[in-house]
Amino acid sequence: QVQLVESGGGLVQAGGSLRLSCVASGRTFSRFTIGWFRQAPGKEREFVAAITRNGGSIYYADSFTGRFTISRDNAKDMVYLQMNSLKPDDTAVYYCAASSYFDARLPSDYAYWGQGTQVTVSS
């Protein structure tokens, strides 16, 4: 089993930045692709970014390229999502998740999920 816990969310003004963190327990991150998703009220869960278990491949949804950066530190069992130039439309609950697939972009690709962390971007 893998347990994931997100942190780093909060309230930020438009144009600001946040760094989200995801820590794993039970197993190390090195065995899994780690992804970030977000979900706003009334919307489907949306893929943001993913990084493979060796860190060699990174995938971003088009909406986030150039603004968001995913990284991982397997020695610390940590994955990060650096979010810059935040917009009010970025307001959502952000989740990290673990997948056994190398190319994982759908919620159904992920077997393990964190509880989510709220990100609110004010105008």
| pLDDT tens digit sequence for 54-102 | 777 999 998 888 999 999 887 888 999 999 999 999 999 999 999 999 8
Whether 1 and 73 have beta carbons less than 8 Å apart is answered as no
Q: List, as one string, the DSSP characters of 27-84.
A: S-GGGSEEEEEEE-TTS--EEEEEE-TTS--EEE-GGGTTTEEEEEEGGGTEEEEEE-
Largest CA distance in the chain: 40
Q: Is the dihedral of CA 12, 18, 50, 21 positive or negative?
A: negative
Most confident of 1-15, 18-32, 47-61: 1-15
pLDDT of residue 23: 92
Q: Which residue has better confidence, 5 or 29?
A: 5
Signed CA dihedral, 110, 64, 87, 84: sign only: positive
Question: pLDDT exceeding 70 applies to what percent of the chain?
Answer: 97
